Structure 1
Amino acid sequence: MLPRIEVAERPGVGLDGAVRPSEDVVVVLPNAVVLLDGATALDPALPSGGWFASRLAGELAGRLVGYPDADIADLLAAAIKAVARDHGLVPGESPSSTVALLRWNDRVVEGLVLADSPIVAFTDGGPAPLVDGRLAAMPRGVGYRDRLASGAGYGDDHLVALRDAATSMSRRRNIDGGFWVAEADPDAAHYAERATWPRAGLTTVLMASDGVSCGVDTYGVFADWTAVRDLAMAQGPEAVLDRVRAAENEDPNGTRWPRPKPHDDQAMVVADFTR
């Protein structure tokens, strides 16, 4: 029997503060759900993170349906390779995306996370987060976050500081001791965090882009993932997005919670396995 899947999505704003199409991508398949969060491109010469996420989602979806028993990291690697090949992408000089992948059959449920889009599985023993914390562990240094915390706000100087931070962070992308993300290097897929749960013991699984998980990890508007699950099950996942966006509206200049943009794209999936 298929789980009941609910999806909530909402665009954030671009670096200019204007609303634009979301760069998060969610694909629901008969045996899987894919959630991708395309990274905002700071180099205008590059395609957008949303462009990359959309193409990666298409390649990955076909493989998940066509090869239901294949290793999910191998499928992700093949999808990355196909996008890079077809569009002439070069490792280290290409757009990128996080990956959260959930796949199930009658016996087990598998999860794969690459970069900061977590999956949280709920069993009889409580929440079991599947998190890739390597990006969050990278040293940040002095930069745009300190500017925002001081009250400098968003604007041209913020963009300069943000580009400096992105340049520094790009040197740590997809290398040992750094962090891993879907880009143009297929090997990144095999550095993903993974977990497998017996299907019989699962109740609910949450998937989220960081525009939603920040409500737990950064803003603290939710005490924990159980509170997120409870609100989503009672009022729907849109209510979770509303709560996070309301917190951001109370901090429009990023002083309390320094962040690249006032509002990030939001995507959330709730999979109910109790059916």
Structure 2
Amino acid sequence: MRLTFATEPAYLGRLNEDFIAATQDAVVLLDGAGTPPGVECGCHHGVAWYSHTLGSTLVTSMTQSAGTLGEILADGIKTVAGLHASSCDLTHAGSPSATVVMLRRTGEMLEWLVLADSVLVLDVAGSPEPVVICDDREAQVGARYRTLMDSLPGGSPEHQRAHAQYVETMRRHRNREDGFWVASVDPSAADQAQSGAIPVGEVRAAAVLSDGASRLVDRFELATWRQLLDLLDSSGPGELIDRVRQAERSDLEGRRWPRGKAFDDATAAYVTALGDGW
């Protein structure tokens, strides 16, 4: 496997709540769900601690366990919950959470799992368009509640209050039927992940993206998924993040692209030579 990646916090000096790690046979990415200022989460460790601790647990287990990716994720969620159950309120609706993308080569198969709105893009031989895997249930639920937030200038006190209220409202739908699912404290969330496997010889390349990196395509619509793969191949993940930042800076108030956060943590990984190096 040949892997290149880049990751960058939304703002310099701020903790990066994304996590990316890889071994010879596995890649894992998590995107921690940020908590706006003044909104409680019931955990004194914070979102970055959660995403980094769960991510480290998963990448270790993926190389040591013969279980399915779903089983590994469920065990990882349970393990991390146990690490702070005695010191934090895990019943709090805002307990730290994260999206998850997992890739693993097992024999001649490439296994994958996607939970929530981080994105996996597979460049499959013989297919003119990439295969894009992302769980958009959070976006579907959020569309009901973001009208006020999206109507206000980004960065304004009014927008900040509306964003905090939006986050509080979305928590009522998190890890519930007819809502959306993320990794947090309930291992059964792993059952809601999308997962599958494909012969490794059929995959030319794979991109693993937090939504802070995928927004170049799925929010800003400044590129197609094929163009994103071509950019990663020619210029690397750092250039992808640079282009996201250029777009964000050009629309700080969110008038062209309404959004909760002007800038977001961004992580992109590009995997090639899957058959040769895995």
Q: Is the TM value for this pair above 0.5?
A: yes
Deviation of 1:192 after TM superposition, in Å, equals 0.2
Alignment length (residue pairs): 265
> Hey, what does 1:50 align to over in structure 2?
48
Contact 2:148 2:162 in 1 (8 A): no
Instruction: Name the CA distance, whole Å, in 2 between partners of 1:8 and 1:191.
Output: 28
Q: C-alpha separation between the residues in 1 aligned to 2:154 and 2:245?
A: 18
Cross-structure match for 1:137? 140
Q: CA deviation at 1:193?
A: 0.8
- SS in structure 1 of the partner of residue 182 of structure 2: coil
Conservation of the 8 A alpha-carbon contact between 2:117 and 2:134: yes
Displacement after TM superposition at 1:147 (Å): 4.4
Matches within 5 A, 1:1-275: 3-13=1-11, 19-42=13-36, 43-44=39-40, 46=43, 47-67=45-65, 69-88=66-85, 90-91=90-91, 92-124=93-125, 125=127, 126-141=129-144, 143=146, 146-150=148-152, 152-222=153-223, 224-272=224-272, 273=274, 275=276
Q: CA–CA distance in 2 between the matches of 1:147 and 1:40?
A: 17
* Distance in structure 2 (CA, Å) of the matches to 1:20 and 1:168: 25
Gaps of 5+ in 1: none
- Distance in 1 (CA, whole Å) between partners of 2:211 and 2:268 is 10
Cα RMSD (Å) of the superposition?
1.7
Q: CA deviation at 1:33?
A: 0.5
Kept in 1: contact 2:50–2:97 (CA 8 A): yes
Distance 1:157 1:231 in 2: 37
User: What code does the residue aligned with 1:49 have?
Assistant: V
Deviation larger for 169-178 or 87-96? 87-96
Q: Distance in 2 between matches of 1:146 and 1:249?
A: 22
Distance in 2, matches of 1:23 and 1:119, equals 18
- Decide which moves more: 157-166 or 71-80: 157-166
Relative to structure 1, the CA distance from residue 133 to residue 153 in structure 2 (aligned partners, 3 Å threshold; closer, same or farther) is closer
Instruction: Show structure 1 runs of 4+ deviating over 4 A.
Output: none
Query: What is the deviation of 1:274?
Result: 5.8
CA shift, 1:61, in A, is 1.9
For residue 155 of structure 1, what is the amino acid of its counterpart?
S
Q: What is the TM-score normalised by the length of structure 1?
A: 0.91
Question: Which region of structure 1 is more displaced relative to structure 2, 77-86 or 45-54?
Answer: 45-54
8 Å Cα contact 2:200-2:275 kept in structure 1: no
Query: Which letter does structure 2 place at the counterpart of 1:66?
Result: Q
CA distance in 2, matches of 1:241, 1:86: 33
CA distance in structure 2 between the partners assigned to 1:62 and 1:274 by the alignment:
22
Q: 1:142, CA displacement in angstroms? A: 5.1
Q: Displacement, 1:182?
A: 0.3
Structure 2 unaligned regions, length at least 5: none
Partners of 1:32 and 1:101 within 8 A in 2: yes
* Residue 270 to residue 180, structure 1, CA distance change in 2 (3 Å): same
Task: Return the TM-score normalized by structure 2.
Answer: 0.90
Equivalent residue of 1:180, what SS? coil
SS at match of 1:138: helix
Distance in 2 of aligned mates of 1:81 and 1:156? 38
Distance 2:164 2:155 in 1: 13
SS of alignment partner, residue 219 of structure 1: coil
Q: What's the offset of the Cα at 1:97?
A: 0.4
Report the CA distance between 1:105 and its aligned residue: 2.5
Equivalent-residue separation in structure 2 for 1:252 and 1:166 (angstroms): 20
Using the alignment, how far apart are the partners of 1:111 and 1:266 within structure 2? 21
- The 1-side partners of 2:162 and 2:214 are apart by 24
Query: Take 1:146 and 1:157, find their aligned partners in 2: how far apart are those partners?
Result: 10
The answer on whether the counterparts of 1:8 and 1:237 sit within 8 Å (CA) in structure 2 is: yes
Structure 1 position 19, deviation (Å): 4.4
Q: Is the 8 A contact 2:3 2:269 kept in 1?
A: yes
Give the drift of 1:171.
Answer: 0.8
For residues 194 and 31 of structure 1, the distance between their equivalents in structure 2, rounded to whole angstroms, comes to: 17
